[in-house]
Structure 1
Amino acid sequence: MQKKWVTMGDVARAAGVGKITVSRALSTPEKVSPATREKVAAAVAELGYVRDDTAGALSSQRSRVVGALVSSLDQPTFASTIRGLSEGLAEGGLQLLLGTTQYEPETEAELVSALMGRRPDALILTSSDHTLETRALLTRAGLPVLELWELPESPIYAAVGFSNRAAAHAVTAHLAETGRRAITFLTTDRPHDTRAHMRAEGYTEALTDLVPGHAPRILRLSPRAEATGPEYGAEGLAQVMERWPDTDAIVCVSDALAIGAFCEAERRGIAVPGRLAITGFGDVPEVGASALGLTTVRIDGHAIGRKAAALTLAATAGEALAETRIDMGFTLARRASS
């Protein structure tokens, strides 16, 4: 099937008016008579006409499009960030184009290149692990580039996030303070998941500082395309208890893994928190006090998205950036699982 876009000329012929009149009816309807507006509106509805904004973008140097690349669409925490970002951008008349990198810098590079072809007003990324070519491209482009969920030392433009290392340190310290000693960190083995690596570092630092004589135990699960977070968590708990049967606490890299570990512990008759404490990361609804009651790190993903949108709107309006690293913080939500 050959693609044929309905043009403004098609609308003009159907309405029996000129193209300039159609343009005015759509852009400045107050300058056109009610009868003409009705004819144009009827033709637009009948033909299914959609305005082509590319010409306007070329003349104004503004596409009014913002590209966002997230590491994964499987995690509710990212979903809340995208919701906040979309809401904030819409208030400023900007549209959001969304893609997912699956934690692969090479995939990010391809998507960044594709988005740049749309001449976006800004780019939003949920990773600071870029290929050298991608970083050079983004730096040369001079666009507002916001890196979310992390706080890199040298952001391309600005970063909005929190310290993943400090958050994992805090939850591990909580377990140590409650008497846990044989604490294991459970994660997935993705080489470019910088947040997971920083959380592992925070766990290691806390364990070294607060539980002398107990070496860090980190179990990394090989990722599979078809596996879900809870599946990783269930498999991980089984492997942890087989490898280190004296484990009395598990720090999970995400709530999804913590849910799976919790359910597997129940299936095995392992008392939580009596025999084993389990913690997560993210505070998704399923782990709250009214659900599983898992101790976790609470991150306000929606607020991160709204802040990113506000910075984007300010940047596209030509306002100067007051700071390049905005720390949104985190909260340790202590619940029944620890």
Structure 2
Amino acid sequence: MAIESSGWATMGDVAEKAGVSKITVSRVLRSPDKVKPETRERVRAAIAELGYVPDEAAGGLSSRRSRIVGAAISTLAGSTFASTVDGLGARLRQNDHQLLLAGTDYSSAKEADAVATMLGRRPDGLVLTSTTHREETRRTLEAGRVPVVEIWELPADPIGYAVGFSNRDAGAAMAQHLLATGRRRMAFIGTAGEGDRRGRLRYEGFAEVLEQSGSAEVRATAAAAGTQTARGARGLAAVLDRWPDTDAVFCSSDSLALGALSEARRRGLRVPDDLAVAGFGDFEFAGEFGLGLTTVRVPGLQIGETAAQLILDVNAGIEPGDRTIDLGFEVIARVTT
């Protein structure tokens, strides 16, 4: 049985582009070993160029809408995107839609697989926490006829829509806060993930302010292995082993900051007297009834709700006034600085 297209490039388009029959295209998709290698490669090249996605749900839907929204989330571990997923799912359920989740581990290859799989289910929209995509993924998304919302960042040229805040400005704001407390020898602790663009932007904003101040020095390290907490501990250890006079660290997430605080305690350092520690995200454990961690608070729940509403509005024929929605951030000063 032939696979029907998901609403943009059709199987017929692929067949015409490759100079083969629709049956041959179907065989390449279902039983590639039964097709000659040169024909198979020609069909696959046409699929990539046209952004064709097989519709695995074809024939099984009674209406044009699936009432499913897909979300490719950089990580499903920890608290990073928890409130955003909660907001996204809740707003969709209020409008009789369901959320389909996939974790990408900050990998553009895994994101590409997730996007292809989700588009095959004919979703009513897609939400992506990454704005760094493979060229073929972006081409497929741009060719699609579903709303795409990139979140937690504000790309200059969003695929469809963007909801988030400026990570660069957030890093800059934390640098200004630490400068105001008298710190001058500061370090940034991030991760070495392939797709952690947000962390890099936070570092760039942080470093830029310190460099412009003319009175502060910034050091940076990234730990690639282990849990976020373990990475934070290893990151602080690396910083202090190389620069023992460091007087403040800004971590690209609260989970990293938790590890840094644990390493500081292990070394007998007093926080904030000997070392100031700041994080990002304002996770529940960072609050006044937890660690009392200085951090950057972002409106995670609102980001999810807004992304969901954008998709619902676009599918209802309501065009948003702006393609990019900046929900801002806030530096929350607590006892660790």
TM over 0.5: yes
The residue matched to 1:201 in structure 2 has which SS?
Answer: helix
- Consecutive unaligned residues in structure 2, runs of 5 or more: 1-56
Partner of 2:333: 334
Contact 2:249 2:276 in 1 (8 A): yes
State how 1:58-137 maps to structure 2 within 5 Å.
59-137=62-140
Report the CA distance between 1:54 and its aligned residue: 6.7
Partner of 2:12: none
Mapped to 2, the partners of 1:274 and 1:216 lie a distance apart of 19
Partner of 1:196: 199
The residue matched to 2:194 in structure 1 has which SS?
Answer: coil
Partner of 2:218: 216
Partner of 1:239: 238
Report the CA distance between 1:178 and its aligned residue: 1.0
State how 1:30-45 maps to structure 2 within 5 Å.
none
- Could you list the structure 1 runs, at least 4 aligned residues long, displaced by more than 6 angstroms after superposition: none
Report the CA distance between 1:75 and its aligned residue: 3.0
Report the CA distance between 1:213 and its aligned residue: 5.0
Mapped to 2, the partners of 1:129 and 1:54 lie a distance apart of 30
Partner of 2:160: 157
Contact 1:85 1:309 in 2 (8 A): yes
Instruction: Provide TM-score, normalisation by structure 2.
Output: 0.81
Percent identical: 47
The residue matched to 1:76 in structure 2 has which SS?
Answer: coil
Partner of 2:28: none
Superimposed CA distance per residue, residues 78-111 of structure 1 (whole angstroms, 9 cap, x where no aligned partner): 0111110000001111111100111111110111
Mapped to 2, the partners of 1:288 and 1:332 lie a distance apart of 13
The residue matched to 1:118 in structure 2 has which SS?
Answer: coil
Mapped to 2, the partners of 1:208 and 1:336 lie a distance apart of 26
Contact 1:54 1:63 in 2 (8 A): no
Structure of larger gyration radius: 1
Give the CA RMSD over aligned residues: 1.3
The residue matched to 2:169 in structure 1 has which SS?
Answer: helix
Partner of 2:16: none
Partner of 1:316: 315
Partner of 1:10: none
Superimposed CA distance per residue, residues 93-150 of structure 1 (whole angstroms, 9 cap, x where no aligned partner): 1111100111111110111111111011100100100001010100011210000100
Mapped to 1, the partners of 2:179 and 2:262 lie a distance apart of 23
